[in-house]
Amino acid sequence: MKFNWILSNELDESIRRYCIELEYQLRPKITKFLMARLENECNGDFSCFHFDVDLITKNITISPETPARFSRRIEGDFEKEINTFCCT
């Protein structure tokens, strides 16, 4: 899986560290979320999933780069279970 960071400023050292820490928090949550819904279909390979992490609005969304067949299946639950607790 890949995270696309949306920032308001240049990536300074403190923001870079924050992004790394946030990714370490998000990655296991999102992996568990995807495994519960798509593990068989993806055979545990979630490399085609892309997420936009907007540090300005404090939201994480499924990127348009993620195949639509997967996005459609998870978007409602993703909003409730992942985005609600992102970036706080």
User: Cα–Cα distance between 80 and 43 in angstroms, integer?
Assistant: 24
pLDDT band at 88; cut points 50, 70, 90: low
Every domain of the chain and the residues it spans? 2-85
| pLDDT tens-place string over residues 37-87 | 999 999 989 999 999 999 989 999 999 999 999 999 999 999 999 988 777
| 3-class secondary-structure state, position 52 | strand
22 by Cβ neighbours in 10 Å (0-12 / 13-18 / 19+) ranks as: middle
Check: CB of residue 26 under 8 Å from CB of residue 3: yes
Contacts of 60 (CB under 8 A, 6+ apart): 26, 51, 52, 53, 54, 82, 83, 86, 87
pTM of the model: 0.90
